[in-house]
Structure 1
Amino acid sequence: MPDNTADARSVPRVVIEADDPLTRDGTVTFLAADQRIALLTVDRLAEADILVMLTAVVSGKTLSAMSRASQTTGGRIRIVLVADHISEQQLALAVNHGLASFLVRPFTSFSQIAVAAVEAYQGRSAVPPVLMNLLLDRMRTMQKSESATGLLPVELAQREVDVLRLLAEGLDTVEIAGKLSYSERLIKSVIQTVVKRLELRNRTHAVAYAIRMGIL
């Protein structure tokens, strides 16, 4: 596998894992030519920023691989998953393991995978709205079932709550900035602050956490 890490400090370091050699080699060949990405071999996962996983079926093995990747990188890794389908339970678990984006395999091109990897590195996520709604519904159910545990929601500023609520509705940072009459830079800063303070993976995880804790 090519290792174009010359500019690894300014571009995401990406590892590719796939169920079959044909898919893996095709993805590696395409991404190796993309100057926005520094491709690493699988044995250098500990150094990676992004893990791209390609599988037809999301299974326990897939989720275990995500968990191992998260542990190997100290929770730093962000995962782009390309699969035919994922259940709401699997989605919730995957987010906890570092999932940043989910792409539906039959409708995804190599160029879309490259874009998702770059955007995941920049803190952006891509989850189809229908799956996001499933995730949020599941988190609301979990929040209700755990209401007797005595957990108290973390305090968030009203602006942070407003941003998370609009993220939950599927708006991007530009749309949120327009809604709240703030700059897009400020919106991104708010999201990054919340993610860092709560020690979460990404904005999708932040929304799910807020739902689970009853903040939204």
Structure 2
Amino acid sequence: MIKVLIADDQAMVRQGFGALLAAQPDLLVVGDAANGADAVTEVRRLAPDVVLMDVRMPVMDGLEATRRLVGGNPAGGPKVLILTTFDLDDYVYEALRAGASGFLLKDAPAADLVNAVRVVASGEALLAPSVTRRLIAEFAARPHPNRPRPVVLNALTPRETDVLRLIARGRSNQEIAADLVVAEQTVKTHIGRILGKLGLRDRAQAVVLAYETGLVAAGE
């Protein structure tokens, strides 16, 4: 059973999403919160697996709440799925840096919401192509031509490094398998090892790390 907490300042959104998720046999809505501060308190009290987190909330916004819940503890805490009104939201990059595992448009179809919760709970990241493009554009605007490659990447084998590059370019497991001419299960194994070696919680953090370290340059 996947435990979910919904954080949004609109009661109708909380109730609507809550009813939708509660109707699923494998999902359990354990609570909700109307602002970021309450979300942090409730998460620590209820220990959900996934938090649906609105960005714009009073008292404390969703970014700060995400930082407090997972920012300093990449291996622990809940998975955070950011709810946004726009796929090119200004908060995309900051939310990923804060530790979010994915994004979902508030007007997405009901089936997408249910699927998103399951995907994020399983440890996969939910990055829409538009979000990945936004992330790339963000790094393209930053002048870091001579960024040193950090020692942490030395832990990766050449094949794992190839897989990380492809993840950062927005490739799915199936596409990576086709590019490298290996089985999809082999790709999953590589990704698990990459996350373990680099101390990352999911694919979203892997994308951020690949660009921040200069392993992948925007426009490649």
Q: TM (normalized to structure 2)?
A: 0.78
Match of 2:153 in 1: 154
Matches within 5 A, 1:119-130: 119-130=119-130
Matches within 5 A, 1:124-139: 124-139=124-139
Match of 1:45 in 2: 43
> Which segment drifts farther, 128-137 or 24-33?
128-137
Distance 2:177 2:100 in 1: 25
Amino acid at match of 1:167: I
Match of 2:79 in 1: 78
Amino acid at match of 1:185: Q
Distance 1:58 1:172 in 2: 32
Match of 1:62 in 2: 62
Distance 1:112 1:177 in 2: 25
User: Could you tell me how far 1:26 is from its partner in structure 2?
Assistant: 0.9
Distance 1:120 1:151 in 2: 28
Preserved contact between residue 140 and residue 212 of structure 1 (Cα < 8 Å): no
Distance 2:137 2:158 in 1: 22
Match of 1:214 in 2: 214
Q: Structure 1 residues 130 and 30 mapped into 2: Cα distance closer, same or farther (>3 Å)? A: closer
User: Could you tell me how far 1:177 is from its partner in structure 2?
Assistant: 1.4
Q: Structure 1 residues 69 and 126 mapped into 2: Cα distance closer, same or farther (>3 Å)? A: same
- CA RMSD, aligned part only? 2.9
List per-residue Cα deviations over 1:144-175 (Å, max 9, x = no partner).
17837x95452121211221222223221122
> Which segment drifts farther, 123-132 or 111-120?
123-132
List per-residue Cα deviations over 1:29-68 (Å, max 9, x = no partner).
111111122322246513122111245x589712112123
Distance 2:145 2:79 in 1: 28
Preserved contact between residue 31 and residue 110 of structure 1 (Cα < 8 Å): no
Distance 2:186 2:49 in 1: 24
> Which segment drifts farther, 124-133 or 205-214?
124-133
Match of 1:6 in 2: none
Match of 2:205 in 1: 205
Q: Secondary structure at the match of 1:95?
A: helix
Q: Secondary structure at the match of 1:102?
A: strand
State percent identity of aligned pairs: 23
Distance 1:184 1:177 in 2: 5
Preserved contact between residue 139 and residue 208 of structure 1 (Cα < 8 Å): no
Q: TM (normalized to structure 1)?
A: 0.80
User: Could you tell me how far 1:185 is from its partner in structure 2?
Assistant: 1.6
Distance 2:178 2:143 in 1: 30
Preserved contact between residue 116 and residue 126 of structure 1 (Cα < 8 Å): yes
**What number of residue pairs does the alignment pair up?**
203
Q: Structure 1 residues 145 and 41 mapped into 2: Cα distance closer, same or farther (>3 Å)? A: farther
Unaligned runs of 5+ in 1: 1-10
Amino acid at match of 2:197: R
